[in-house]
Amino acid sequence: MHGMGAGHGMAMMPHTNATENEQAVVHKLMCHRQGGENESFAKRAIESLVKKLKDKKEEQDSLIRAITSNGGSQTGCVTIQRTLDGRLQVAGRKGFPHIIYSKLWRFPDLHKNELRNIPTCQFAYDLKLDMVCVNPFHYERIVQGSDMNRCNISLAGPGGIKLSDPLAHHQKTGDEMIPQKRIDHRPCDIRQNDPRFDKSVSCFSNFNNYPNGYYSQSRRNLEHSIPQPGDWCTITYYEGTNLIYKL
Amino acid sequence: MHGMGAGHGMAMMPHTNATENEQAVVHKLMCHRQGGENESFAKRAIESLVKKLKDKKEEQDSLIRAITSNGGSQTGCVTIQRTLDGRLQVAGRKGFPHIIYSKLWRFPDLHKNELRNIPTCQFAYDLKLDMVCVNPFHYERIVQGSDMNRCNISLAGPGGIKLSDPLAHHQKTGDEMIPQKRIDHRPCDIRQNDPRFDKSVSCFSNFNNYPNGYYSQSRRNLEHSIPQPGDWCTITYYEGTNLIYKL
DNA sequence: ATGCGGGCGCGCCCGCAT
DNA sequence: ATGCGGGCGCGCCCGCAT
Ligand SMILES: [Zn+2]
Ligand SMILES: [Zn+2]
Ligand SMILES: [Zn+2]
Ligand SMILES: [Zn+2]
């Protein structure tokens, strides 16, 4: 099911043992985070999720395909056990799991109450079932208290307005903000699913906008560290192609 | 049972509600700690215990009588639920409960494997029952790997040898070390059980060696804070009246 | 009242010493 | 192998905002 499943890479990646494989999956998923959380939090969140999917290879594949295709591939639910109050704790912080992972891989500036599951999600958070789907592409972003129910929200790169501290979730805690050209949710370059390309090249989805060798030398040793000093961010709200407002 | 039970104070202390009573018990018990733990840890440990004894007034009374009489009154077991691995966590630190509370109220320099329950203790830690007795006077101190099975260990006051950092459990973490004239386990002044004396006077058992008004003015506002700067400590081992060794 | 946010301990887990 | 020590999340709890 879920299409051909031949191009997602992990199945043909040789690995010596389960731990190494898990680390490889974590690394691959780290390459697609959107910069809304600092690296250590992201790593902990992804490690936690990958560990929970250890014995559910089909869901793990769904997650990898969903993330690496940036939603371009239709994928099934990716579920974890629901906690009593619904919150997941990662690195000492508590949050709702679908929000945590959607913020990680899709909407770095996600607010509360801005996610709505797509109709086909069978374990959506709001269903309050025993398992919760954390597939970021099983949720869509809405803006509460507004008729802009289908707006695009993006982070602009350097040259945008510098934030002092307008929003609590943009609090500077180290390498929180990551310069990116454009990180809304259009599908990534198809080449990232091609196993002929070294996975270390694409540490962020947006870097796939450049030829694969462009950033590889300068970033290869940096791995997932974000070296840029200072923090900056611009949030622009679009409805269709019309800019609605900018922070 | 357990003797007359008329002189332990709490029963005749008026209180408006359960929380205030609990706080009064905590405060009374704080006054008898031996300085082996810093104040905040001691408070957390005592609050944890008092809370667990909330619905077991008889055991709470046993605890209060045991501590305020410094073992002079025969008391029953004071029990808390055993955890799976036997450890209790207080203020982020894990330890065995009987050791934690014995160190708090009897042996400030207690090491590992130095406690042995008295034969009459029905819920001694080593019995591995569902409940664990934490009455410090249901355990006696032994020294492992030595024939000094009945030594007295005391902390000497200012003028003793200054410790650099000979033992891990004496690590300086704030107000850890508290100057005291002598804190081995002879019974406290009988007056501390007399409700005519303000309980705030006796913030440590050893201060009862002085007339009741002596420290009251200078220490009344300090409550349980230990203002003396620096840390110092002398450990002297006695066998009977013979000094065995000194650190 | 109800939700939200966060503190903290027990259970789980893992690395290290022996 | 076995114990020891400690990291960390879920459950429990509590204070605060609304
Ligand atoms: Zn789903
Ligand atoms: Zn990467
Ligand atoms: Zn006992
Ligand atoms: Zn006191």
Q: Which nucleotide is nearest to B93 (CA to C1')?
A: D6
pLDDT score of A19 = 77
Q: B208 near B89, Cβ under 8 Å?
A: no
Query: Stretch A187-206: mean pLDDT, rounded?
Result: 37
Question: How many Å apart are B44 CA and C7 C1'?
Answer: 13
CA-nearest of B198, B149, B158 to B178 is B158
pLDDT (average), residues A18-39: 90
What pLDDT is stored for residue A55 in this prediction? Answer: 87
Distance B167 CA to C17 C1' (A): 19
Distance from CA(B112) to C1'(D5), angstroms, rounded: 13
Starting from the CA of residue A216, give the closest ligand. 2
Q: What is the pLDDT of residue B101?
A: 96
Q: Which of A117-121, B108-112, B189-193 has the lowest mean pLDDT?
A: B189-193
pLDDT digits (tens, 9 = 90+) for B153-185: 433 232 222 222 222 222 333 333 333 322 322
Say how far B226 CA is from C6 C1', in Å. Answer: 30
Residue A152 vs residues A105, A183, A235: alpha-carbon distances, Å: 15, 10, 10
Contact assessment for residue A175 and residue A158, using Cβ atoms and an 8 Å cutoff: no
Of all ligands present, the nearest one to the C-alpha of B122 is 3
- Model pLDDT, residue A188: 32
Among the listed residues A30, A133, A140, A157, the one whose alpha carbon sits nearest the alpha carbon of residue A77? A133
Centre of ligand 1 from the C-alpha of residue A8, in Å: 19
In percent, the amount of chain A with pLDDT more than 70 equals 51
Our measurement of CA A175 to C1' D18, in angstroms, reads 34
Q: Which of A6-20, A120-134, B203-217, B221-235 has the highest mean pLDDT?
A: A120-134
The whole-number pLDDT of residue A88 equals 95
Rounded to two decimals, the ipTM of the complex is: 0.59
CA–C1' gap, A198 and D15, in angstroms: 51
* Ligand having the closest approach to the CA of A27: 2
pLDDT band for position B223 (cuts 50, 70, 90): low
Residue B245 phi/psi, 5-degree rounding, is -155, 165
Distance of CA A35 from the midpoint of ligand 2 (Å): 12
* Nearest nucleotide by C1' position to the B81 CA atom: C10
Band of pLDDT at residue A23, cut at 50, 70 and 90 = confident
- Distance from residue B223's CA to nucleotide C14's C1', rounded to whole Å: 42
Contact (Cβ atoms closer than 8 angstroms) between residue A102 and residue A185: no
Ligand nearest to the CA of residue A139, numbered in listed order = 1
Q: What radius of gyration do chain A's Cα atoms show? A: 17
Give distance in angstroms: CA of A43 to centre of ligand 4. 47
Summarised one tens digit per residue, pLDDT across range A62-82 is 999 999 999 999 999 999 999
pLDDT in tens, A116-149: 999 999 999 999 998 999 999 999 999 765 434 3
* pLDDT score of B117: 96
Cβ neighbours, 10 Å, residue B246: 12
Mean pLDDT of chain A: 65
A219 Cα to the center of ligand 2, angstroms: 9
Q: What is the pLDDT of residue A119?
A: 97
Q: In this predicted structure, what is the pLDDT of residue A143?
A: 79
pLDDT score at A224: 52
Centre of ligand 4 to C-alpha B219, Å, is 9
pLDDT > 70 fraction of chain B, expressed in percent and rounded: 51
Highest mean pLDDT among A84-88, A227-231, A240-244: A84-88
pLDDT in tens, B6-63: 333 443 333 346 778 888 999 999 999 998 999 999 999 999 999 999 889 999 999 9
pLDDT tens per residue across span B79-96:
999 999 999 999 999 999
pLDDT average, residue stretch A26-32: 95
| Residues whose CB is below 7 A of strand D | A 44, 48, 83-85, 87-92, 94; B 85, 93-94, 112
Q: Is the pLDDT of residue B99 over 60?
A: yes
Q: Is the pLDDT of residue B141 over 60?
A: yes
Residues with Cβ–ion distance below 5 A, ligand 1: A 77, 121, 133, 135, 138
What percent of chain A lies above the pLDDT cut of 90? 44
